[in-house]
Amino acid sequence: MRSEVKRVAVIGAGTIGASWAAYFLSRGLPVAVSDPSPGAPDLMRRMVEGAWPILMRLGGKADADPAAWTFHADPVAALEGADFVQESAPERLDIKQDLLHRIDAALPADVVIASSTSGFLASLLSERCAHPDRVLIGHPFNPPHLIPLVEVVGGAKGSPAAVAAAMEFYRAIGKRPIEIRKEVPGHLANRLQAALWREAVHLVAEGVASVADVDAAISEGPGLRWALMGPHATFHLAGGEGGIDHFLHHLLPAVTSWWKDLGSEMTVAEAVQRTLVQGVAEETGGASTAELARRRDAALVRLLEARSL
């Protein structure tokens, strides 16, 4: 697989793809963008213009050119000269399989194709590809131009060389890639999120706490620690001088007793869904999602800058 990436193709330029493209540009990489939507070029311009000052604050190259992108209605045209492809088409299996088949057929076999899919298996996405070994998952967390995490999954068909090349590329541009060694639906981080949210919904449904208080229990408590270290390292510190070994010997029985009381496999009844919608509306004070995202991103930038000190 190609060891040096000088040009990136971003196929699919919605919210995720445009964010990816802005990030690649800030790292000094020319980007060819493709999307069938008539509004995609305007979205790209707005994304790059809005994100550029932040990206420069967060380690973008001083000589990076925010105008070093081209737009192509035809995805095959966007692939010319590409050393790495980031596919971010809508989360529909038929669309992704067809698109990846076309991309695979048009590229040299040593170019890695990474999909931003949040849940599909790499081996399923590459079913129609002649070179499935170079098709893998490169799943970012939203928004990709801010969140460092990228989940890399080679799956049953992906080659170690393709995985290594993707990991090295993402590292080289300042991301924090992690390798998922076994294919599972939802990859890793989304499964952890889903497990937590499942219990959060259960606690609301059981009347234990309000939506706002359940959210505060994370954002004002363990979420602050999780911004610095994950659950295993957090509990390592909870074990005091004895670390995780002390924690497992002395606190694990309590934790496992809580596990036994967690909500069983559940469906979310319509009444509970209405409670969640009303609770979120009360919690957010009627602010639009655009305004909430603006506040979130501003806070993320401050947090990322603080972590780099």
* pLDDT tens digits in sequence order for the chain, 309 residues long: 988 999 999 999 999 999 999 999 999 999 999 999 999 999 999 999 999 999 999 999 999 999 999 999 999 999 999 999 999 999 999 999 999 999 999 999 999 999 999 999 999 999 999 999 999 999 999 999 999 999 999 989 999 999 999 999 999 999 999 999 999 999 999 999 999 999 999 999 999 999 999 999 999 999 999 998 899 999 898 888 889 988 888 988 998 898 888 876 778 889 988 998 899 999 899 889 889 989 999 999 999 998 886
pTM for the model stands at: 0.91
CATH superfamily of 8-180: NAD(P)-binding Rossmann-like Domain (3.40.50.720)
For residue 285, which amino acid is it? G
Q: How many residues does the chain have?
A: 309
* Number of neighbouring beta carbons within 10 Å of residue 295: 11
Question: Would you list the domain boundaries of the chain?
Answer: 8-180, 189-307
Q: What is the fold, at CATH topology level, of the domain defined by 189-307? A: N-(1-d-carboxylethyl)-l-norvaline Dehydrogenase; domain 2 (1.10.1040)
